[in-house]
Structure 1
Amino acid sequence: MKNYGDRKLTSFSVMRAYANVILGIRGLFFLLPYLGTVIWKFFLLQYLQKIHLRRIKITSVDHELDTTVPFREDYAGIYLDFINYWIRPLSMMFKKFGHMKGLKLCAEWFRRISLAYNEAYKVYSKNLTTTRRPSPKTKAVKNIQKADPHYCCVPSLHIAVIVLTISFYRMLLAREDFTEDERKNFNEEIYSHGVEIAESVLYMKQHSVNCIPAALYMVTKIAPDIMTVEIAEELIKDLFVKAEDVTEENKNKIKAHIQKFYHELLSESELFGHWSVPVLNWIKNYTAYTE
């Protein structure tokens, strides 16, 4: 078995993952349900609302701290790398373990990510959420805003999938036959790029600081075997560490807000039968910040 400890995940072709999953009944068996979930419970949900074929309450969730992060259109590439971010490790596994075992591990991943979309829908279908987005100047961001109705903010699926990817691969790299170099390098790359994408959702004004703790909380509740409070707090701590365009004071305020809200949701979840109830209660009672 080859050792890929000296390779970056970005060097693995995403097309290999697509090809291996699509070229086979077993792959389509778990790919098609995932695609159906994303289409019906994320994209169509928003588009039907936009053209008034669905009528779900929409709540603004802007927070004053959102204004402390500048609008950075140059983060569009990082923001859009969200999908390839979790596909590249799948490509790596096909390369390392071959088609059959790769498919088995892919199926395990798709069960996790499908669950995240299905669970988030339990909030979206009852109360949609949005934030204010500045008028863009670049074509890339104009296209993003044009294509995205922007009604599924809380919980942020960008953030949910990031922490799901981090926690899933920490588990998988420890469990499967990887070398120490592979474990160390892949985990570090997945984590560091995940933090960059998490920051991009605020830079791009696609989410509020309120959207992040709700997502961390959701994954903590729906995937407790892999997602821990420690992983959530690690990500919060490392947000904007290298940023030079957010003041240290505001970095600390953002992190304190996210951590406080995350732990409030965890505490309130003990009182209810389903994780979504505290989130829906918060949305119902929230008054958005307006400049």
Structure 2
Amino acid sequence: MQDLEGRIFRIQRFSIHDGPGIRTTVFLKGCPLRCIWCHNPESQSFSLEVGYRKERCLGYHECLKSCERSAIEASEGISVLREKCDGCGKCVEACPSGALEIYGMDVTASHVMEIVERDRVFYKNSGGGVTFSGGEPYFQPDFLLSLLEECRNRGISAAVDTSGFTDWKVIETSMEFADLFLYDLKDYSSERHRRFCGVGNEHILQNLKNLLDAGNNVVVRIPVVPGYNFSEDFDSYIEILAKLGCRRIDLLPFHSLAKDKYRWLGREWLMPEIGDEARSIALAFSEALEAMGFEVTVGGYF
């Protein structure tokens, strides 16, 4: 295998929410979308980023001394001046309390596969495998394809969790190696998709249709975010899903567990408290979908 280097921000072992069985989920960094409800804001930028947890800070200010770019200043704890920060990580190494964290690491494909191999026995016994997620895994197409090919060479089942916002040729090339596509459909309405995710959805819908028409194993995952991508317009969603040829649907009710990540990154969390409404709508939509012959699951989060 060509040992390409790519950028990830986390590898999660023993995952049970990213495809069948016990899985290892590899989160690649970088995403072309900017979903207002994004639960992994550290995944959006391809750049290395420093997160700061004020509640852990002991006030020793070793980080200030270590930063050669003057990207940290003392201010009710500290502040990371992100326009100056290059993500070198020296401040993280200097911090004695773990208040600073670097989001992103450059790794080789062989290093990723070394970690993946540790849980091969669990994949075999549970029908699991590896899921490549993000961010958007197709944001790093060459790195993703090298990992998928190596999984196929080693007999490890591989899934791709994608927004579908990428060049079709890249997806088409990966079909030979991916056993499952988890396709994140943010909204059937292109106008709302542009408003809340930053781009329209026409290209995304076409890529989904192409995948399904080619006979791939596809599960469509829909985040349920009341007041944003969802209301009671079930018929419109069902019409689009049926027209595309979708059969298997995962509904993922919104939650607010990610809001601390925004604070750590010095960003504002723009979402309101939604509470149980997301799950209630997801359950009602699930019933409507099942009545039309779709296979549906309602997850705990996305």
TM-score with structure 2 setting the length: 0.26
The structure richer in strand per residue is 2
Higher relative contact order, chain-length normalized (CA < 8 Å, sep 6+): 1
Highest Rg: 1 or 2? 2
The structure richer in helix per residue is 1
TM-score with structure 1 setting the length: 0.27
